[in-house]
Structure 1
């Protein structure tokens, strides 16, 4: 991994190069922004030490080009300007860290090593996310951490023949998950047969699963294969498995143990090769404890469990899904919708989504059919007005010393609405992550806690802010745990 030094002052570049070389780092040097971009496009560079004052262009222009071309490097800005505005501008343009000339050797080496570690971690994360961003989504939309974990589980369990037990609230996509497992498995070219156990009358469910022969019961006018036989070689998906009666559960258990199907009204047995994927929106262990679900069947099916997260816990996936459905339904209806207003995004994010993705589909289809574009406004989300939104819990902003009077809690966002952003002061010399957090949390505070407004102000994706807040919450929790342990040991 190489470090590219972009510095037009040769003595300074030589000093940086010697200091980094003594630390065991491999460096290259160019003097202009044009040379820097040409070298970066060739690849092989992990970190850039970028001077902002270059002879042919501004370092900010180089940052903008790196961001626009999505060049895989981490940038550390080195400049003689120590203003907070420059730090904010560099952060918004994609810089990882910001150091001011003259640079102490220890500070230079430490910052560069941190940037190298960050770039390595980014590469690892991208490798982890590649399957999730490609074929393994299989109908899912969203890149939140909970859904990334689901994609990895699908990838893992699809290679097995063991039974899969999917749990999750109604509308979270259990059948989508089951079909994704099937399409990712060696059985993909064979049938995928879904059967909703709650949607079939109880006196017909056995016939639907195992089939029947002519005359087995009133209305059985001919022989018919059941879902298990139709899924031979493929996957049988039993949705709402906990709705099965205990007597039928015993027959299902016998089928799983023997791999043979016996049609209703017949003594003949037929061998089939079927993988079972089942799902429920109930607590299966609770059903076992209540005596409504056989314990031996539960352990036979509950080999590879997958839990689907509710939409309310998926962060910025709410906006990803909303935009996905808006594009889809606008195309179907011939409407010219382009996106959502800030107020509409806030309404979507604050809603609790008890119906999960299914409710989201219905909401977006409703507004597309009843309204015209180009933008979705909050008052178009009429289906959300019948149910009181449940605001998300926002972490309190870290205290930031204000250069002006502090904003009272009830007045958050007022200054922004009036066009007067509050000024803040921060202390240089601290890690960039702390500086970044203070600026972001102060902006969230000034925007009245609205992440969509904050994202637009800072020109970053809302999902970026959600992930940062998740990381900060974990760090704060770890820090509190560490303090507790320290106090206990004392």
Structure 2
């Protein structure tokens, strides 16, 4: 299989710090890239599929704050961790309000780095599984959400009434239905839109750290707390706090969360000073909270405090009439991103897309469209450009795509199923890599970005598959 190492970019003008962080993250299994300043860091971001950025605040040429703004403008979901000295903690807090994921205060230990990096990457993975984006100017879109089905019409009516209010909202629905998109719409269409929108994925945070994540901590509160740090409630003051996967919060923490919601006040971990905040809370879950209550895994009083206004997002299979609108949106999106010119979707292919059950909802549709656009060699998307599981919807026995065709006569004469699968997968990998290189005119950097693997990983895979010859490894 193609390697799936996460790529981490370290941006710092101190050679020793770059070296130490690179050594640790490499040992932890990440593919590490380095940049000496923000200017070089932005250049690396444009040429590689980066999963996480760790950057210093104070640097020559382009500083960390500028890097943060520019990077998030091009990739809003990119997690960025700031490195700061004690004297610039206020600036780091400001960076969090602008969209940074977290910050490290010098000196930091390896466990703290490992913990924050792991949390950031897990949060991004969960967000990618859940979030979908829709520009507000496309046909059939309101509040940045695409759709005109009855379920979405009801959603728009609720958003109209509750967006500009301080009322707590609980969003429910399956994974991939766009719960974060609705939370963002509530914030963006309220009088709080100029204030912070702070999101926390409760499933990505270890249970023992959830309290300090939400409410912050004072210096010396626990081992490793070398300085005080505000929690997400403080960072969201005046704005909106979005707690995704609220059902994952430990029962013992739910009491403190309930008090913070009812009284708008709390204390940091290890602190005695009461902190008051003005925060509008939006929570989301794909779990049945009433079942969790029956199992004593969720407090009933917290549920009723969260469930002031309830919004249920329909699964994509419940709003099949919206699929053509979403297909058009993703076709435009990936034509632009992948520099393709696919003019549309053939009726038979659109029928299959509309008939499929979409267990992964909109996120699954987005992934299918990205792959189909990437490997489409015709003027329009055809049935054969779609995955096998979709082509089975109609009940017809359509042949698999060229990349998956297997000639049993070419398989090894000796060996069992495992050896046959290995040979078939090697051929599939070779075909996918070859087509990506062809699509990018032999540009290894851009091909790696399309395949969502590291450049180094692609080079190793090309060597393994015998694809190095005849390919000029272009960098630009």
TM-score range, shorter chain: 0.5 to 0.7
Counterpart among 175, 198, 207 of residue 202 in structure 1: 207
Corresponding position of 2:236 = 231
Give the whole-Å Cα distance in 2 for the aligned partners of 1:386 and 1:200. 39
Q: Say yes or no: does 1:240 pair with 2:259.
A: no
Write out per-residue CA displacement over residues 406-452 of structure 1, whole angstroms, 9 at most, x where no aligned residue. xxxxxxxxxxxxxxxxxxxxxxxxxxxxxxxxxxxxxxxxxxxxxxx
Matches of residues 474-485 of structure 1 in structure 2 within 5 Å?
none
Counterpart among 321, 325, 338 of residue 326 in structure 2: 321
Q: Secondary structure at the match of 2:182?
A: helix
Q: Say yes or no: does 1:291 pair with 2:266.
A: no
Corresponding position of 1:381 = 386
In 2 relative to 1, CA 133–390 (structure 1 residues): closer, same or farther, beyond 3 Å? farther
Corresponding position of 2:263 = 258
Give the whole-Å Cα distance in 2 for the aligned partners of 1:185 and 1:148. 19
Q: Say yes or no: does 1:219 pair with 2:186.
A: no
Give the whole-Å Cα distance in 2 for the aligned partners of 1:383 and 1:218. 52
Corresponding position of 2:172 = 167
Counterpart among 353, 357, 360 of residue 352 in structure 1: 357
In 2 relative to 1, CA 266–362 (structure 1 residues): closer, same or farther, beyond 3 Å? same
Corresponding position of 2:317 = 312
In 2 relative to 1, CA 298–361 (structure 1 residues): closer, same or farther, beyond 3 Å? same
Give the whole-Å Cα distance in 2 for the aligned partners of 1:375 and 1:134. 20
Q: Secondary structure at the match of 1:165?
A: strand
Give the whole-Å Cα distance in 1 for the aligned partners of 2:245 and 2:336. 33
Runs of at least 5 residues in structure 2 that lack an aligned partner in the other structure: 1-135, 397-476
Corresponding position of 1:371 = 376
Alpha-carbon shift at residue 214 of structure 1 (Å): 2.0
Alpha-carbon shift at residue 135 of structure 1 (Å): 11
Give the whole-Å Cα distance in 2 for the aligned partners of 1:273 and 1:350. 46
Alpha-carbon shift at residue 221 of structure 1 (Å): 2.4
Structure-2-length-normalised TM-score: 0.52
Q: Secondary structure at the match of 2:337?
A: helix
Alpha-carbon shift at residue 365 of structure 1 (Å): 0.8
Give the whole-Å Cα distance in 2 for the aligned partners of 1:191 and 1:134. 29
Aligned residues: 261
- How large is the RMSD of aligned CA atoms in angstroms? 2.3
Structure-1-length-normalised TM-score: 0.51
Q: Say yes or no: does 1:157 pair with 2:162.
A: yes
Q: Secondary structure at the match of 1:208?
A: helix
Matches of residues 77-476 of structure 1 in structure 2 within 5 Å?
137-382=142-387, 384-385=389-390
Give the whole-Å Cα distance in 1 for the aligned partners of 2:145 and 2:383. 25
In 2 relative to 1, CA 373–139 (structure 1 residues): closer, same or farther, beyond 3 Å? farther
Alpha-carbon shift at residue 292 of structure 1 (Å): 1.0
Alpha-carbon shift at residue 163 of structure 1 (Å): 0.6
Report if the CA contact (8 A) 1:352-1:389 is conserved: no
Alpha-carbon shift at residue 133 of structure 1 (Å): 8.4
Q: Secondary structure at the match of 2:204?
A: coil
Runs of at least 5 residues in structure 1 that lack an aligned partner in the other structure: 1-130, 392-490
Report if the CA contact (8 A) 2:247-2:285 is conserved: yes
Report if the CA contact (8 A) 1:210-1:226 is conserved: yes
**Which structure has the greater CA radius of gyration?**
1
Higher relative contact order (CA 8 A, sep 6+): 2
In 2 relative to 1, CA 186–216 (structure 1 residues): closer, same or farther, beyond 3 Å? same
